[in-house]
Amino acid sequence: MTADNSRRLLLGLGAGALAVGALSPRDAPAQTARPARRDMLSAANFGARGDGASDDSAALQAALDAAFAPNGPGFLEIPPGTYRITRTLNISGTHDITRHHGILAHGARLHSTIGDGSNVLQVNCQATMRFLTIEGLDIEGSGREGNGVYIECEHKEHYLYNFCLRDLVVQGVGGDGVRLIGNVFEGQLINVYLRDNKKNGATFAHGSRAGILSAIHVFGSVFGQNRTYGAAMVHGCYDVSFHGCYFLLNGKEGLIAENGCTLLSNCGFENNHESAPDFAHGGAGISLQNFGTLIGCTAYSMFKQNRLIQAYVVSQFAMIGCTGSGDAQAKGAGLARIGGEKKARAVVMSSQGAVEYMNGFEALEIGASGQGGVRLASNWQSPNLLQLGNYRIWVDKSGKLRLKNGSPTSDQDGASAT
């Protein structure tokens, strides 16, 4: 056998075939493995017209079924055009897919005329799916369908992860723009624009039956003019981070995080609470419970949003380099209203705007506007008391400065400075 034939055999059959015996290429058994090159299907080849008038539901579903079949190419291209949709499009989630797959649809719009509350594009994962990408798709709703993009994996033993939603636009749908539920993790939303949807721009949730949503990062996305929240983190989920995102003109809060939020960095909150009757009945850009970290976030209002954040702290909370302000009707808008458990800790550092405290809770303020220097807690029960070695210092209810070696047991404990 020549050296050239040996090389061809190695590439075609693998080293294992050589170990069985020295076969020439013409003697080798037929191969059943998938070819190295995998072509991308086009929805046009299945009869999808994209003329804005034809019902393209059946053609697009046939294209999706072929692309995501066990031996399919894995990727579907939807050419530029407007595709009228009358029923839910399903991406098959009934078999494991652990290679890169998805939809590429720059310039393509799905115009939904669904009227029964069904989702527009849906992934109901009943297997393990990895490396899903949906890129460039524009979904325009009628207000009578359900969610624009719905991804669910409510299973203990199945997962959907390492996914990416990129350059996605969802507007005008009857439910959420994007809804992610269950064992959906290690994914990104990048340059996603979610506008004027009847419920939330996006919802992130643990599964009600099973599944933990986690390790989601949202970059450079906009959540605007949605009827309820810009984004909602519910059913116990907390591990979603937002970076450089903007939340504006939503009916209620720009973001609600019922169990905390891992990180908000360089995000803006503008003129939310559009459904409130006036500034006095408005609210914060963010509603947060349990824990969170904000870095370089801003809030601005001219109407009904009255501060950047309202938080109830159970564990730890930090706000660094944030601002809250307003003009016109919202001239009194501030930075934060914070309450919490007695043992919870909160730090406000180098931030601007008024900070209010609820039920005697106090944060450690460092370089906050109007405070100068450091503002420590004064309540004897606060975990943020000034400590010098083993000594705690606080101000009692009569205004006297008190000092105690160890933790105080009452407001009058310790020695008075007067």
Calculate mean pLDDT across residues 171-187.
Answer: 98
The answer on 384 and 320 residing in a single domain is no
The answer on 284 and 186 residing in a single domain is no
**pLDDT at res. 378:** 60
The answer on 195 and 177 residing in a single domain is yes
The answer on 284 and 196 residing in a single domain is no
The answer on 412 and 336 residing in a single domain is no
Distance CA(40)–CA(35), nearest Å, equals 13
User: pLDDT tens across 302-324, in order?
Assistant: 999 999 999 999 999 999 999 99
Show the tokens assigned to 164: 């990416």
Q: Which position has the higher pLDDT, 276 or 94?
A: 276
The answer on 221 and 141 residing in a single domain is yes
**pLDDT at res. 398:** 67
| pLDDT band, residue 386 (cuts 50/70/90) | low
| pLDDT band, residue 327 (cuts 50/70/90) | very high
Q: Which domain holds residue 369?
A: 280-375
Distance CA(5)–CA(364), nearest Å, equals 75
The answer on 383 and 362 residing in a single domain is no
The answer on 362 and 323 residing in a single domain is yes
Show the tokens assigned to 227: 């009827």
The answer on 406 and 349 residing in a single domain is no
Calculate mean pLDDT across residues 23-28.
Answer: 38
Query: How many domains, the chain?
Result: 3
In a domain, 219, yes or no: yes
The answer on 344 and 231 residing in a single domain is no
Give the chain's mean pLDDT.
87
Whole-prediction pTM value? Answer: 0.84
Tell me which residue has tokens 């309820």: 228
User: pLDDT tens across 216-242, in order?
Assistant: 999 999 999 999 999 999 999 999 999
Q: Which position has the higher pLDDT, 53 or 14?
A: 53
**pLDDT at res. 93:** 80
Indicate the length of the chain as a whole number. Answer: 418
In a domain, 88, yes or no: yes
In a domain, 7, yes or no: no
- For the chain, give the percent of residues with pLDDT over 70: 82
Q: β-pairing, 386-388 with 391-395?
A: antiparallel
Distance CA(242)–CA(316), nearest Å, equals 18
The answer on 81 and 194 residing in a single domain is yes
In a domain, 36, yes or no: no
Domain C-terminal end among 243, 260, 295:
243
In a domain, 169, yes or no: yes
**pLDDT at res. 348:** 95
**pLDDT at res. 203:** 98
User: pLDDT tens across 88-124, in order?
Assistant: 999 988 889 889 999 999 999 999 999 999 999 999 9
- Asked whether 194 and 226 are in contact (CB, 8 A), the reply is yes
**pLDDT at res. 385:** 62
Cβ neighbours of residue 363 under 8 Å, at least 6 residues apart? 317, 338, 346, 347, 348, 355, 357, 377, 384
Cβ neighbours of residue 78 under 8 Å, at least 6 residues apart? 42, 43, 48, 50, 60, 63, 103, 104, 105, 108, 137
| pLDDT band, residue 394 (cuts 50/70/90) | low
